[in-house]
Amino acid sequence: MIFKTIRSTLTVFNSLAIAGLCAAVLAFSIFTHEDLYREAVTGDLDGLSNNLSVDLFAVLAEEGDDLDTVAIRTLLLRLGEYENVKFAVVFDRDFNQIDTYRGPTLQVEGELEIVVDTEQLNQIPLGMSNKNGELFAYKIVGDEELPFGYLLIVNDLEKPLTGSKMHLLTRVLPLTFIIIGIGIALSLWLNSRMLLPLQKLARLAHQIKETNDYSIDINVEGKKEVVDLSNEIGSMMDTIHEEEIKNKRYTQQLMQQRKDMERLANFDSLTGLPNRQFFMETLRKSLSTAEREGDNLVLMYFDLDGFKGVNDTYGHEVGDKLLIEASKRTQRFLRHGDLIARLGGDEFLILLYNDPNDFVVTDISERIIKEISKPFDINDWEILISASIGIARAKDAQFNLSDFVSNADVAMYKSKVEGKNTHTIFVPEMMEDNKRKLLLANKIIPGLKDGEFSLYYQPKVNPYEEIVGFEALLRWNSPEFGFVSPVEFISIAEQSGKINEITYWVLESVLRDSATLIEHFGSKLSISLNLSVHDLRNPKLFEDIVRLYKELDIDARCIEYEVTESTYLENFDMANEFFGKIKDLGSFIALDDFGTGYSSLSYLTQIELHTLKIDKQFVDNLGVSKRSTLVTKTIIEMAKQLNLNICAEGVETREQTDFLIANGCHQLQGYLFGKPAPLKAILNTFTKR
């Protein structure tokens, strides 16, 4: 009786013990699985948000008033591959929402507005966090010290985690019930000989719990029931071990993806060089170290002259290969430890350590310039470009990161102004010039509105010295800066993106003045105005011309558009298309500064011109240089054979006039016949026809 009671007690106890053991192993497996799942999802979302914030940086960092919302929306649509993302929001640097993304769980009928105010954002820490079953990725777009915006991604953690645990339970739970059933059956046959194997199983279970090693071989000898129980537990451990291996493999994949994303975040995908973000962070640390140790650093800022023309002429594939080859050539001349990075487009930065002297810096710069100027053989094309380099020292910028880069940029611009294909070392005086340029750039639009700009007209005469046309010339008289030369403010307007506003103002003013000029000088008068390369690239300009012609009732035959020879040929296809439309309207095209930059004349057979203008440098040398005189004669004769109207600029003497008329020049323009003057002065000075 006592034996039966003990046996019954042992049976119940053993059954409960087995059930408890299985439950403990199952619970521990679930907890382990949950932890691994959380880590995997967090790591995956962290890498995804880092990669997305880097891509958003390229959009938010672009200059201009209008953001490319299409590009931002395209980037956010990548989240469509992640079914557990609830929503994402992109903010600008002032925490204003730019765009949002709604995940599948929020896609309901009708519009659902996602609004995250500043108070809610302040409750979310930067980086990765989770709360109330949601995982938050809150990242800065750009540098922490100079953010361009912020990215918030909210991921549903609880629902997929529950599903994952249920998936694990559906696989393990049936096996657990089987083991418990076997344990209860075996407990009926428990005796003193069976208690020892069970104790071994208990010790093994404890060992598994302590070591988290589910690969331990469970092989306990005993009766058949004990052996079966041992095998079933071993089978369950194998299942758990397989799941653990899968999770580890998945974690390793996520870690590798994270490494790949970090590389994409820090290195340029085209050239393999460090990108702007990585370089700027390295530069910041290097400046701090150099300032602390009393050392100096040298920064070289350079870009490729004529690169845009390569892209426009040969296509972006050739342009990309050109950038790769140019970066390889540049690296040959850097010292061990120096750092080169691609800033973006065709711009590169080089950081020279150990305070190199002027001789070393000059030697490196000249080697790079010489190597870049050699022909590039790309896709069977021989490409010729050059490099303009700006050089700055950290001490001149007081080790300030922004000033350091700005100084190098200013010096590089100086190299371009001085003819490109050269290098310039920054000196503080350059910053004053740069400040003046910035001030002038900011005054252009207000100056147009406040009447600071005006048009001067210079007459053109025929061989009988009768006025047959005028060229409109822009002048700027600023209350703050006084008279500003067109040579200065036109280039500043082009660089600051304000040339289109100036061109429109000139176009409208000339067309309004044309009625008065034509009334005074006759209906056959021709009025010309100048266009720049930026105007040729402005798709809206032709629409403005058509609209103004119609609004002001302009006779298109009285308007002539002048463009320099170099501008036309550097943008040949674009210029041909634009001036083809102008010709269809009835207006005329004049090629200015002819003969000053190109030796091949074959292009004259491919474009339809009305007027060829002989540059002043040829006119100045008439009768002085036999070679210039011969060239001028040749140009006039060639133009006559091509049936072109010929206009000579810069005529200042009677000798020049007599020579040009004798050789068949149709129009003359210069101080001899009249200096540029305002419209009112023109009307008062010259006799009405």
Q: What is the mean pLDDT of residues 392-403?
A: 91
Q: How far apart are CA 89 and CA 103, in angstroms?
A: 11
Q: What is the mean pLDDT of residues 672-680?
A: 94
Amino acid at 299: L
pLDDT at residue 283 in the model: 92
Q: What is the mean pLDDT of residues 533-543?
A: 87
Q: Positive or negative, the Cα torsion across 18, 19, 24, 26?
A: positive
| Higher-scoring residue by pLDDT: 678, 607 | 678
What is each CA distance from 165 to 27, 40, 147, 383, in whole angstroms? 11, 14, 40, 61
Listed range (356-360, 506-510, 624-628) with the worst mean pLDDT? 624-628
Closest CA to 79 of 60, 37, 51, 108: 51
pLDDT at residue 2 in the model: 38
For 639-673, write each residue's pLDDT tens digit.
888 889 999 999 999 999 999 999 999 999 999 99
Residue in this structure with the two tokens 């640097």, named with its chain if needed: 93
pLDDT at residue 439 in the model: 87
pLDDT at 484 over 80: yes
Q: Find all residues with CB under 8 Å of 270, minimum gap 6, and list them.
A: 320, 323, 324, 342
Q: What is residue 425's DSSP assignment? A: E
pLDDT at residue 227 in the model: 64
State percent of the chain over pLDDT 70: 84
pLDDT at residue 4 in the model: 46
pLDDT at 110 over 60: no
For 279-309, write each residue's pLDDT tens digit.
999 999 999 999 998 889 999 999 998 888 7
What domains can you pick out in the chain, each with its CATH number? 2-31+162-264 (no CATH), 46-157 (3.30.450.20), 276-426 (3.30.70.270), 499-673 (3.20.20.450)
| Higher-scoring residue by pLDDT: 471, 159 | 471
Three-class secondary structure of residue 315 per DSSP: coil
Token pair recorded at residue 639: 């133009």
What count of residues does the chain have?
689
| Higher-scoring residue by pLDDT: 369, 65 | 369
Q: What is the mean pLDDT of residues 608-628?
A: 86
pLDDT at 269 over 80: yes
Q: How far apart are CA 153 and CA 126, in angstroms?
A: 11
For the beta sheet containing 347-352, the strands, ordered from the edge strand earlier in sequence to the opposite edge, are 339-344, 347-352, 298-305, 386-393, 423-425
Token pair recorded at residue 505: 């103002």
Query: Model's pTM, two decimal places?
Result: 0.50
Closest CA to 450 of 475, 424, 479: 479
Three-class secondary structure of residue 159 per DSSP: helix
| Higher-scoring residue by pLDDT: 239, 587 | 587
pLDDT at residue 109 in the model: 46
List, as one string, the DSSP characters of 19-57: HHHHHHHHHHHHHHHHHHHHHHHHHHHHHHHHHHHHHHH
**Number of alpha helices (DSSP H) and beta strands (DSSP E) in the chain:** 22, 22
Q: What is the mean pLDDT of residues 25-46?
A: 80
pLDDT at residue 315 in the model: 84
Q: How far apart are CA 97 and CA 136, in angstroms?
A: 17
pLDDT at residue 352 in the model: 93
What is each CA distance from 620 to 198, 459, 592, 637, in whole angstroms? 113, 19, 16, 19
Would you put residue 267 in left (φ > 0), alpha (ψ -120 to 50) or beta? Answer: beta
Is residue 1 very low, low, confident or very high in pLDDT (cuts 50, 70, 90)?
A: very low
Is residue 401 very low, low, confident or very high in pLDDT (cuts 50, 70, 90)?
A: very high
Q: How far apart are CA 217 and CA 231, in angstroms?
A: 10
pLDDT at 598 over 70: no
According to the per-residue pLDDT averaged within each range, which of 234-243, 312-321, 618-627, 666-675 is highest?
666-675
Whether the CB-CB separation of 137 and 153 falls below 8 Å is answered with yes
Q: Find all residues with CB under 8 Å of 540, minimum gap 6, and list them.
A: 500
pLDDT at 603 over 70: no
Is residue 128 very low, low, confident or very high in pLDDT (cuts 50, 70, 90)?
A: confident
Q: How far apart are CA 426 and CA 299, in angstroms?
A: 10
Q: How far apart are CA 672 and CA 275, in angstroms?
A: 57
| Higher-scoring residue by pLDDT: 193, 237 | 237
Burial category of 510 from C-beta neighbours within 10 Å (exposed 0-12, middle 13-18, buried 19 and up): buried
Look over the chain and give the mean of its residue pLDDT values, rounded to a whole number: 83
Closest CA to 122 of 91, 156, 85, 86: 91
Q: What is residue 672's DSSP assignment? A: T
